[in-house]
Amino acid sequence: MKDETKLAVLGRDPEGHHGAVNIPVYRASTILQPSLKALHDVYSARAQDEQVTTYGRVGTPLTYAFENTVAELEGGYRAMAYPSGAGACSGAILSVVKSGDHILVIDNIYGPTRQFCDTVLKRLGVETEYFKTNIDPASLRALLRPNTSLVFVESPGSLTFEMLDVPAIADVVHKHGAKLAMDNTWGTPLYFKSFSHGVDLSVHAATKYIVGHSDAMLGVVIANKESWPALRDTARTIGANAGPDEVYLGLRGIRTMAVRLPRHMESGLKVADWLRGRSEVTGVRHPGLPQDPGHAIWKRDFLGACGLFAFELDKKYGDAAVAEFVDHLEYFGIGYSWGGYESLVSVPAIKGVRSAEAWENHGTTIRLHIGLEDVDDLIDDLKAGFQRLNKAQG
């Protein structure tokens, strides 16, 4: 089955639901059983890792359908849904570490994940060390300690878009006996098949392209077979279960991913390439561009790109001029998150979320999420923005 077909057929059960095309939302806490024996039986089936319905928090047919669909799409063993992407990141980490451990985290990691490591993990006696985004496998090997249990990466980074050689890093990590977790939100389960590149735990902010419509918070972690039991037990013990409506929206979003993503990619690349030709722009960070330093890895490992990238303005443009550019864009909403059908713009403060390498001597970074609008309308909108930028800078 090809991916497009998987998106249409996985996670459905009309026969079990009166012919309904989609599995309905199960609003459930208590699950009633006909007898004490039936109750014992269903709980022992659960203990054998069967996807039975025992209690709302643990999962319903809809939760399992969502989790299994995402897992199969990316090539993992099983998956766990979380109430947010941030919950998925911390859930993946907590399923591996114990007090006294050391973990290695890439410097371009999603900000709230960094915060989780620097606060909660630290309090629990786990030491986090950040490493440079362009690290080579030998240098990473040198950072591994006997108590290093996890390496957590993101590629490309979601603000600065550096690419990492994930298979080469995975090799080093596994030789050491540690696990490799990856925030794969940018790649999505469609465009980066993390498990065939050596990842043990793949994390997604399903809030982004999986939900795809900016109307729900949802996360998911997909595990390989070895990492699954700890992931499952940790999530269930913590009580980090996703709500039924959000899971429904996640599974619904999956149905159209293979139509939405190519459009995000195509329009994103067109805008990125157009930006390269602007005199105001000193650099465009998009691994799908042949000129990008991460392009070779992207081309080797990824099946596509999403609509998120960034560009850097010449240092001569000050904050007031940048605000003139951003504030009056017609089609780009000013706000965080991404992966919905609509275009967004943000001006991330990168310096504050870096520790392994300095972020110095850069102009303002502007991050764009290219939505499903007509791409020429978007380019015209940006063109007018550059006029305002130049006028304001004088």
| Contacting positions for ligand PLP (CB under 6 A) | 84-86, 89, 110, 158, 183, 185, 205, 207, 217, 219, 337
**Shortest distance, position 110 Cβ to ligand PLP, whole Å:** 4
**Which of residues 7 and 89 has its CB atom nearest to ligand PLP in the complex?**
89
Phi, then psi, of 37 in degrees rounded to 5: -65, -45
**Which of residues 118 and 273 has its CB atom nearest to ligand PLP in the complex?**
118
**Which of residues 205 and 249 has its CB atom nearest to ligand PLP in the complex?**
205
10 Å CB burial of residue 169 (0-12, 13-18, 19+) is: buried
**Shortest distance, position 118 Cβ to ligand PLP, whole Å:** 16
Interatomic CA distance for residues 68 and 63, integer angstroms: 9
Phi, then psi, of 258 in degrees rounded to 5: -75, -10
Cβ-contact 169, 197 below 8 angstroms: no
**Would you call 209 a catalytic residue per the annotation?**
no
**Would you call 270 a catalytic residue per the annotation?**
no
**Would you call 260 a catalytic residue per the annotation?**
no
Other CB atoms within 10 A of residue 176 CB: 16
Which of 179, 208, 285, 367 does the annotation list as catalytic?
208
Q: Please, what is the Cα angle at 29 between 25 and 32, to 5 degrees? A: 100
For 21-34, give the DSSP string: SSPPP---SB---S
**Shortest distance, position 382 Cβ to ligand PLP, whole Å:** 22
DSSP 8-state assignment for residue 121: I
Cβ-contact 326, 347 below 8 angstroms: yes
Which of 183, 200, 292, 301 does the annotation list as catalytic?
183
**Shortest distance, position 182 Cβ to ligand PLP, whole Å:** 10
**Which of residues 76 and 219 has its CB atom nearest to ligand PLP in the complex?**
219
**Shortest distance, position 93 Cβ to ligand PLP, whole Å:** 12
Which of 64, 82, 110, 130 does the annotation list as catalytic?
110
Which of 6, 46, 57, 141 does the annotation list as catalytic?
57
Cβ-contact 141, 168 below 8 angstroms: no
CA-based radius of gyration for the chain: 22
**Would you call 57 a catalytic residue per the annotation?**
yes
Contacts of residue 322, defined as CB under 8 A and 6 or more positions apart, other chains included, come to: 313, 347, 364, 366, 389
**Shortest distance, position 386 Cβ to ligand PLP, whole Å:** 27
Enzyme catalytic residues: 57, 110, 183, 208
